[in-house]
Structure 1
Amino acid sequence: MWHDDPKVECKDWRAAGSHDGNGTSLFILSVLLCLLFNQEKFTMMMRAAVGLWVLSVVICVGRGHHHPNHLGHGNDKAGQDTVVNGSASSVSLVNEVNQEFSFRLYRQLAAHADSQGKNIFFSPASVSTALAALSVGAQGETHRQLFSGLGFNSSLLTQTDVDQVFQTFLQRANNTSQEDGSEGTAVFVDNGFKPKPEFLQTLKQSYLADGFNVDFTNTTESADTINKYVEEKTNGKIDQLVENLDESTVMYLISYIYYKGKWETPFDPKLTKQDDFNVDENTKVPVLMMNLEDSFKTYHDHDLNTTVLQLPFNSSYSMLLMLPDVMATLENAIGPKHVTKWLKAMMRPRVLDVYIPKFSIKTSYNLKDVLSEMGMTDMFGDRANLRGISEEESLQVSQVVHQATLDVDEAGATAAAATGIDIASNSVVPVLKFNRPFMVIITERNTEKILFLGKIINPTI
């Protein structure tokens, strides 16, 4: 089932095919897992693409000298009597857990020193998928930490339950129209490394993984192989995700999300004009402001002193833009219950004159410290127990890198521009102007699955 040519194997392995699109305003998410012999020795690079949402997570797993631990998947059997009954219940539970994980991870990123004064943008769905796939090969305390860090209760959910739910998520994403895009994973295995067949089978069945054999001792050629695969899955927009590889690399696992979205009501580019964005009380930067006067659903959360605007895509997805009076008040308190309340309590559409900056941002994170602070520590050191991947090799995670770009334009992201003044025949149209720091969520309206989450404090960086 393994081939050297990604183009051949992609068609053979996937339970559900990806949907490559040809339009603009794309979401792209890529997650990368790699197995290494030693410490992290490679860097990742991603080019931003105009009109794209791009996200990648890189997890590098290397051979280490950990102490053997022969416990199973977090003592799954101990919790069998209380396992959630029914696939629908498991899906609902994992979805709720993933939503909680989204905001816990956001707060860890926001509090990190490297994030101060910078935009934040990432995909919680991507990170949780990558870590869930990794947990397939984890055992003992390492598995317990992964489950706990993700928020899974092992007395309610076994590894099999989680695998089946992520299979449902991925199949559902790939069964939507081409307008929505696709999600998937891929695993690249060194010719001399033999993972357990059951590990690969679970990745194939539950995480829809494409599989390839490569020669990681030829670092240039193997990096090119991975980059060509990523380039194909991202419709040519990311052509050099991996800059170089170490000869000790034994495995790469990539997961990606490709999304093509168009606004239900597009913005008129003729109304886009230069305006000021207030980064803080003392700093203003020039931006191109898009403008649209139309009927919008909004909600004002008095507890958080935040105005929420819903911008629907021409699909089941929406973007929520949150404009707080004080950013810290919003980002320290926001959680899944707020998203649920906002979506349910959105008042009937009313006419607003909306201004939103047209922008492209790029973010990059090394999540090793962040995930360690969330309790997932053992997988990064000698205590790592990844014997579900291989009994013969001593493996460990060496780094986790998360990269993203976000592009917003008139056709498929956000709308705003003009002067902020609306003249109506007999009434004053309220103005909602996102000309200061705001938060953003991309969510599926029915399931409330959070695809993307972030904060824009300066759309020019």
Structure 2
Amino acid sequence: MRYIFYWILVSATSTLADKFSDNLYQLFAKDFRNENLLVSPFSVSGVLAMCYMAAEGESAKKLKTLLGFSEDKIKVAEKYQKWLGKVKMDYQVNYEGSRPLSPNYESLVKEYFKADSNIVPNRTEPVIKITTYWKFHDRIIKRILPKEISKALFKNNITLTDPWQYEFDAKNTKQADFKISENKTVPVQMMHQRNVFRAAYFSDLQATVVELPFHSRQMSLLLFLPNKVDGLWEMEKKISDFSEPLNTAEAILALPKLRYGWRLRISERLEELGLGPLFTNEADFNLFGNLSSKLGDIFQNVFLELKEKGAQSVPPSSQKDTPRSAPVVFSFNRPFAFLIKDESTTYFQGHVIDPSKINQVNME
């Protein structure tokens, strides 16, 4: 499975970074209460870390305060450099205008963010793909000095290529009803897998949590199924950075087959969180030598596909000759939420309201 995104820091600064991530997601969850959603606050924090490398004065202070960045910018860069070894993250920097990027800044982002890397299309079909585009431009008023405008376009891709640990048998994928509200159902293709899963019910969430591991086992898809069809919104307020222990149980997992693509504007939400001045002439980013710059816009292009493909077939039961009780059934046949994370970091978060809707966008 593959992911491309713009999506937090650990250690003592993780509290502020996690709070930023959760607050950003909650803004999207509220706006998309009746629509499918996938977003990567982790990718956004990576974008803002690159911004921080060039930030001065009040701009640097706002980023430091909101995300818990260290005063030492090199330490911040080193933290994100470590993630380059865990997930495939590619940064591209392009600029236009009469002024090139500041040599110091260009050198820093190349060394720590590998921003000069060329993105080579991966032949593996993506399961999740997120690309975050963001741009800077200088603060000179265009109508006065039109030839002096300098712009920089940044592109951050996070790519994970990893199938499920165990595949869903395509022969067991069948049409079923998905209840999007108390009074409305839609037909969907529902995948089925009988296996031993890690799962548990949590009364505080009023929901069941099921883990679906990827082949490498470095990351898992955590699925959150509310008791009630209208219980998603209240549950989502409580699942940020979920890390509770799960039990093991033989079960049948029924999961909708999904395919979506859409475009999210990140800038407006960052303004709501207190970063509005970074998009105005009050901003102070040193990208073009001695000329101050401001943030232009930030978008995430998102692609999500959940399908049967796995690395292995489901293993036969070791208790074949022993009488067994009927397996538990986890049927995700109503709105549910999900996280994609490893043991310490949430990379992607979202929810499914209506699996029958496809909103494809150009991901280039």
* TM-score by shorter chain over 0.5: yes
Query: 205, 220, 224: which is aligned to 1:322?
Result: 224
Using a 3 Å threshold, how does the CA distance of structure 1 residues 186 and 158 change in structure 2: closer, same or farther? Answer: same
SS at structure 2 position matched to 1:26 = coil
What is the correspondence of 1:83-94 to structure 2 with a 5 Å cutoff? 91-94=10-13
Query: 148, 161, 165: which is aligned to 2:65?
Result: 148
Indicate if the aligned counterparts of 2:232 and 2:336 stay in contact, CA closer than 8 A. yes
Query: 27, 31, 38: which is aligned to 1:121?
Result: 38
Superposition RMSD in Å: 2.8
Indicate if the aligned counterparts of 1:27 and 1:261 stay in contact, CA closer than 8 A. no
- Alpha-carbon deviation of 1:26? 2.1
- Alpha-carbon deviation of 1:333? 2.3
What's 2:29 paired with? 110
* Runs of at least 5 residues in structure 2 that lack an aligned partner in the other structure: 138-146, 314-321, 358-364
What's 1:381 paired with? 280
- Alpha-carbon deviation of 1:453? 0.6
TM-score (norm 1): 0.65
What is the correspondence of 1:54-69 to structure 2 with a 5 Å cutoff? none
Distance 1:372 1:378 in 2: 8
Aligned residues: 327
Return the letter of the residue paired with 1:365: L
Q: Sequence identity of aligned pairs in percent? A: 26
SS at structure 2 position matched to 1:356 = strand
Indicate if the aligned counterparts of 1:142 and 1:379 stay in contact, CA closer than 8 A. yes
**Is 1:160 equivalent to 2:74 in the alignment?**
yes
What's 1:360 paired with? 259
- Identify the range of structure 1 (273-282 vs 248-257) with the bigger mean alpha-carbon deviation: 248-257
Indicate if the aligned counterparts of 2:101 and 2:287 stay in contact, CA closer than 8 A. yes
**Is 1:252 equivalent to 2:146 in the alignment?**
no
TM-score (norm 2): 0.82
- Alpha-carbon deviation of 1:393? 3.0
**Is 1:455 equivalent to 2:351 in the alignment?**
yes
What's 2:309 paired with? 411
Return the letter of the residue paired with 2:353: I
- Alpha-carbon deviation of 1:91? 4.8
Distance 1:109 1:140 in 2: 29
Indicate if the aligned counterparts of 1:119 and 1:363 stay in contact, CA closer than 8 A. no
SS at structure 1 position matched to 2:204 = coil
Indicate if the aligned counterparts of 1:99 and 1:449 stay in contact, CA closer than 8 A. no
What's 2:168 paired with? 267
Query: 89, 96, 100: which is aligned to 1:190?
Result: 96
What's 1:303 paired with? 204
Indicate if the aligned counterparts of 1:103 and 1:334 stay in contact, CA closer than 8 A. no
* Runs of at least 5 residues in structure 1 that lack an aligned partner in the other structure: 1-24, 32-56, 58-89, 174-181, 212-228, 416-423
**Is 1:28 equivalent to 2:28 in the alignment?**
no
Query: 436, 440, 453: which is aligned to 2:338?
Result: 440
Distance 2:79 2:18 in 1: 14
Query: 32, 50, 55: which is aligned to 1:133?
Result: 50
Structure whose residues are more often strand by fraction: 2
- Alpha-carbon deviation of 1:191? 6.0
Indicate if the aligned counterparts of 2:69 and 2:76 stay in contact, CA closer than 8 A. no
What is the correspondence of 1:274-285 to structure 2 with a 5 Å cutoff? 274-285=175-186
Distance 1:313 1:94 in 2: 28
Structure whose residues are more often helix by fraction: 1
- Alpha-carbon deviation of 1:236? 9.1
- Alpha-carbon deviation of 1:392? 3.7
Indicate if the aligned counterparts of 1:166 and 1:206 stay in contact, CA closer than 8 A. yes
